[in-house]
Structure 1
Amino acid sequence: MSLSTINELKELYEIDDYLWIMETVKLLKDKRFDELDLENLIEELEDLGSEKRHKVESLLEQIVRHLLLLEYWHNEHERNHRHWCAEVIGFRNQLNDRMTKNFHNYLNENLSTIYKKARKYVSVKSGLETFPKECPYTLEELLNEDWFPKK
């Protein structure tokens, strides 16, 4: 399918965004920049960046949740500690596969907010209020595939 006008490409975006992406990629590869639907291309690139940032933030929050459960939910430790450790490993692997210097800086700057979300979740899940008010972990500890809190 060859689209000759920007208006046709804009219409395609409203009908089938996947086909719009394929056509946009084709135009980019063919260096037909003047035919690009720049307005929607910019929007899609901004959305892609936001999705990636949200994904790494979500993965870090999952790591924090499971470490807090592992370290503080003593009544469930015997039954769940292997599961929680496995979850931490899985989330770390996913996060480290996506990690860039910019994401590292972003996570470091937002660790306090991410921790507060994780703390609220585990407080509701466990019924405990014993979790520290401030994050007890550094970003380096959270990302280190071999690090776990001491019992």
Structure 2
Amino acid sequence: MTTTTDLKQLYETDENLWLEATIELLKRKQFNQLDLENLIEELINLGKRDLAKSKGLLRQIIIHILLLQYWQIEYERSSRHWIGEIKTFRYDLNNHLTTNLINKLQDDLENIYQSAVDFVKIKTDLTIFPEKCPYTFVQLLDENYLP
């Protein structure tokens, strides 16, 4: 029988075994034996990781759309690559999204856009980008949308 103290020690030495033991306790509805402190911490971190991954994928979509739309000197040589990247990042993001993540991404779209613009400015030396995000959230996720 695993105790809460044992689980706390296991968390410090082998997080994967801790996770397996925690899942078993949950399946058996042995809630009083759970290491709640670390379980809560892991759930919080899981949410943060999911949000960070989603923001990163959306940022990559915006970066490549901006490159496609504005970096004309590289268009002929790189546009097919950028379109491929947009499709890949959209696929990954669409398969990762939940209602909660959608809401958080929509709320933070302007910040994500600004981060993408900052990157593209450095990469291209261009300064011609709109001040506010010219794309809707729906457009950014739409597999058929290109500017």
**TM-score, normalising length from structure 2?**
0.97
Deviation for aligned residue 1:38: 0.2
User: Aligned-pair distance for 1:9?
Assistant: 0.6
Equivalent position of 1:55 in the other structure: 53
Question: Which residue pairs with 2:44 in the alignment?
Answer: 46
Equivalences, count? 147
Partners of 1:134 and 1:32 in 2: CA distance: 51
**Aligned-partner SS, 1:9:** helix
In structure 2, give the amino acid aligned to 1:62: Q
Unpaired segments ≥5 residues, structure 2: none
Structure 1 residue aligned with 2:30: 32
- SS for the counterpart of 1:137 is coil
Mapped to 2, the partners of 1:55 and 1:99 lie a distance apart of: 10
Among 107, 114, 117, the alignment partner of 1:116 is: 114
Written as runs of structure 1 = structure 2, the 5 A alignment for 1:14-93 is 14-93=12-91
d(CA) in 1 for partners of 2:59, 2:95: 16
| Bigger mean CA offset, 94-103 vs 16-25 | 94-103
Q: Which runs of 4+ in 1 moved over 3 A?
A: none
Tell me the C-alpha RMSD between the 2 structures. Answer: 0.8
Q: What are the within-5 Å matches in structure 2 for residues 112-151 of structure 1?
A: 112-149=110-147
What one-letter code is carried by the residue in structure 2 that aligns with 1:74? Q
- Residue type at the aligned position of 1:120: D
SS in 2 for 1:147: coil
Q: Classify the secondary structure of the residue corresponding to 2:108.
A: helix
Give the distance between the partners of 1:110 and 1:137, measured in 2 at CA: 13
In structure 1, give the amino acid aligned to 2:24.
K
How many angstroms apart in 2 are the aligned matches of 1:98 and 1:12?
A: 30
Q: Distance in 1 between matches of 2:40 and 2:102?
A: 24
Identity of aligned residues (%): 48
**How big is each residue's C-alpha offset from its partner over 1:125-147, in whole Å with a ceiling of 9 and x where there is no partner?**
11111111111111010010100
Deviations along 1:41-90, one digit per CA (max 9) or x if unpaired, are 00000100111111111110000000000000000000100000000000
